[in-house]
Chain A
Amino acid sequence: MEIDRTDGRSPNQLRPLACSRGILHRSHGSASWSQGDTRVIAAVYGPKAGTKKNENPERACLEVIWKPKTGQSGKEEKEYETILKRTLQSICILTINPNTTTSIIIQVVHDDGSLLPCAVNAACVALVDAGIPLKHLAVSICCCLATCGHVILDPTKLEEEKMKAFAYLVFPNSINSILPEGSSHTKSKQLEDGLVTSVTHGGMSVEDYFHCLDRGRAATARLSDFLRKNLQSQVLGEGSKAG
C-alpha cells in the first residue's frame, strides 16, 4: 500500500534540512531554516524595555512580524503572526523579564509547502541565538492526509494542495536529562508527551488525526536531534575560547 510521491520520498521521509545561526549581524539573534526548497529567516530583537499598550506589564511581551516573500502583508500573514505568537509565548518563560518586548521578525525566502512549521523552527533557533530564556525548544512538522487515508510527512506545495487535509503540529523537543529512565517524575514525562500547537486545514476523522499526531511525534525525534546538533556545533566553536 505504498503511496507515490513526486520526488520519490517515502511517506515518513523528511526533506533535507539546513539550519544556520547568527546570520544577521545587526540583530540580537537570527537563524535561517530550510526544509527542501522552503526557506525562512527569523530575526529576534530584544528584550527591550517597555511593553505595548494592552499587554500585561508583569510579563514579557512577544511581538511577531511576518513578512511574505512578495506583496503586502494581509490577513493570511496576520493569522500566521497570531499562531506563531501563541506558540512562542508558550515556550518562552515570560516571567523572567517583566515589562519588556521581544520582537521576532519572520521573512519568507521561499515557500514550497510546510511554511508555518519551517517558520516555527527558525524562530525557535533564533530565540536560542538571542539568549531569550525558554522552557524547552519547539520542533514543528506538517502531516497531511491523502484521500486514500495515508499519512504523509513534510509535503511540498503541490502535495499540500492535493491533500484532503493537513495539520501543522508543534511538539516540545526531546530533552537530555541526567535522570534515569523511568523515573517517577511525572511532570517531565508529561512535558515530553505534550503538544504545543496544532493547526488543521480540511476535514479528517478523529482516528486519522491521532494517527497524524503519532507519526508527527515520531518524526520530531529526528528533528530534535538535528536541532540539538546544530545548536551544539556553535557552542563547541566558542568553547575553545572559554574564559
Chain B
Amino acid sequence: MGDKSSGMPSTLVDQPVVPGDVVLDVSTLTNRAIKLGGGLRQDADLIRVTKGGRLRFSKPNKYWVESSQMRYVPFVEDTVLGIVIDSKADNFLVDIKGPAIAFLPVLAFEGGTRRNIPKFEEGTLIYVRVVKANPGTNPELSCTDASGKAAGFGPLKDGFMLECSTGLSRMLLSSPTSPVLEEFGKKLSFEVAVGLNGRVWVNAESPSTVIVVSNAILKSESLSSTQQRIMAHKLLEKVH
C-alpha cells in the first residue's frame, strides 16, 4: 500500500490516496501531454492529490481520483436533477448541489420561443443536462439534448426525490444494470431518474412501491452485488 519504509512505490494507480500525495512527476514523462480529471492538481512539475479517494488511470493519458461525495462538481454533458430556486427574465436559477447556482436559459427547450416559455414554480424538480461548467462561473444547463430534441429532459411530476452521494448515482447508472434496480425491475413496475449530482427520483403507481424502492436504493451503497440481490429478495417477499 505504498509503505514508505520499504521504498517508494513505482506507481500509485489503483491505490487509495490522500490529499498531498505526489502521483506524477511531469518532467520524467516521455509523453508530456496528460489529462487530469477530478481530485488532481498541478504544482510546478508535480501532480498532487487534492481529494481523498482511489487513483485511476485510463489509457492513453488520463488520470483522476475516484471518490464519492455528497456535493457535486459540475461537468459538461452530465445529466443531473436540479431544483428550481427562482426565475429571472432570461434564466431559471437551478440548484444542482454544486458550489454555484446553475442557470437554465428560458429558451433551452424543444421548440422554445419567447411566446411559450414554461412556468416553473419554486421547488420544481427538473431533469437537465449540463452544457457549460467552467470553474468559478455559474454552470449552464439545457433541457434538450445536443440535437435540440427534448429526449426526456424537463420537469418531473409526482414521485419522490431522495438525496444520495455521487458514488451511488454513478453505481446506479453503471452498465450492466445495477443489481438492486434489476431485481426490483423484475417484480415491480416503477420509474427512476438518476442525476449524477447525487439525486434520485422514483415514481410508481402505489406509495408502498416508491417507499420500498427508495429505501433499497439508499441501503445499497455499502453492499456488494450479491448482498444487494439478497436484500432485494428479502424486501420483495415482505411487499408481496
Tell me which residues across on chain B come within 8 A of A238, comparing CB atoms.
54, 68, 167
By the criterion of a CB under 8 Å from any partner CB, how many residues of chain B are at the interface? Answer: 51
**Stretch from A6-14, A46-54, A80-88, A110-118 at the B interface:** A46-54
Interface assignment of B9: CB less than 8 Å from any CB of chain A? yes
Interface assignment of B206: CB less than 8 Å from any CB of chain A? no
CB distance from B221 to the nearest CB of A (A): 8
Closest to B7 in A: A181
* Cα–Cα, bound, A93→B167 (Å): 23
Tell me which residues across on chain A come within 8 A of B4, comparing CB atoms.
174, 176
Contact assessment for B22 and A48 in the assembled complex, using a CB-CB cutoff below 8 Å: no
Closest to B45 in A: A185
Contact assessment for A178 and B20 in the assembled complex, using a CB-CB cutoff below 8 Å: no
Tell me which residues across on chain A come within 8 A of B167, comparing CB atoms.
238, 241
Chain B, residues 9-39, CB within 8 Å of chain A (1/0): the string is 1111000111111111100000000000001
* Cα–Cα, bound, A74→B16 (Å): 41
**Stretch from A125-133, A143-151, A159-167, A206-214 at the B interface:** A125-133
Interface assignment of B183: CB less than 8 Å from any CB of chain A? no
Tell me which residues across on chain A come within 8 A of B171, comparing CB atoms.
241, 243
Contact assessment for A136 and B20 in the assembled complex, using a CB-CB cutoff below 8 Å: yes
Contact assessment for B19 and A135 in the assembled complex, using a CB-CB cutoff below 8 Å: yes
Contact assessment for A137 and B20 in the assembled complex, using a CB-CB cutoff below 8 Å: yes
Tell me which residues across on chain B come within 8 A of A134, comparing CB atoms.
19-20, 50-51
Interface assignment of B70: CB less than 8 Å from any CB of chain A? yes
CB distance from A88 to the nearest CB of B (A): 12
Interface assignment of B211: CB less than 8 Å from any CB of chain A? no
Query: B22: which of A130, A175, A239, A241 is its contact (CB, 8 Å)?
Result: A175
Interface assignment of A173: CB less than 8 Å from any CB of chain B? yes
Tell me which residues across on chain A come within 8 A of B41, comparing CB atoms.
93, 133
By the criterion of a CB under 8 Å from any partner CB, how many residues of chain A are at the interface? Answer: 49
Interface assignment of B105: CB less than 8 Å from any CB of chain A? no
Closest to A221 in B: B4
Chain B, residues 32-62, CB within 8 Å of chain A (1/0): the string is 0000000101011110101111101000000
Interface assignment of A190: CB less than 8 Å from any CB of chain B? no
Interface assignment of B170: CB less than 8 Å from any CB of chain A? yes
Contact assessment for A179 and B16 in the assembled complex, using a CB-CB cutoff below 8 Å: no
With A130-B70, A175-B20 in contact, do A187 and B44 touch (Cβ < 8 Å)?
yes
* Cα–Cα, bound, A128→B52 (Å): 6
Tell me which residues across on chain B come within 8 A of A188, comparing CB atoms.
22, 46
Query: A179: which of B22, B69, B101 is its contact (CB, 8 Å)?
Result: B22
Closest to B66 in A: A242
Interface assignment of B112: CB less than 8 Å from any CB of chain A? no
Closest to A125 in B: B52
Closest to B25 in A: A179
Interface assignment of A198: CB less than 8 Å from any CB of chain B? no
Contact assessment for B17 and A176 in the assembled complex, using a CB-CB cutoff below 8 Å: yes
Contact assessment for B19 and A28 in the assembled complex, using a CB-CB cutoff below 8 Å: no
Chain B, residues 176-195, CB within 8 Å of chain A (1/0): the string is 00000000000000000000
Contact assessment for A28 and B71 in the assembled complex, using a CB-CB cutoff below 8 Å: yes
Tell me which residues across on chain B come within 8 A of A243, comparing CB atoms.
170-171, 173-174
Residues of B within 8 A of A (CB): 1-2, 4, 8-12, 16-25, 39, 41, 43-46, 48, 50-54, 56, 66-71, 73, 99-101, 135-136, 167, 170-171, 173-174, 222, 224-225
Known: A134-B19, A173-B20, A178-B25. 7 other contacts (CB 8 A): A96-B50, A130-B70, A133-B19, A176-B18, A178-B9, A178-B23, A185-B46
Subset of 5 A-B contacts with CB under 8 Å? A131-B52, A131-B71, A177-B22, A235-B53, A242-B66
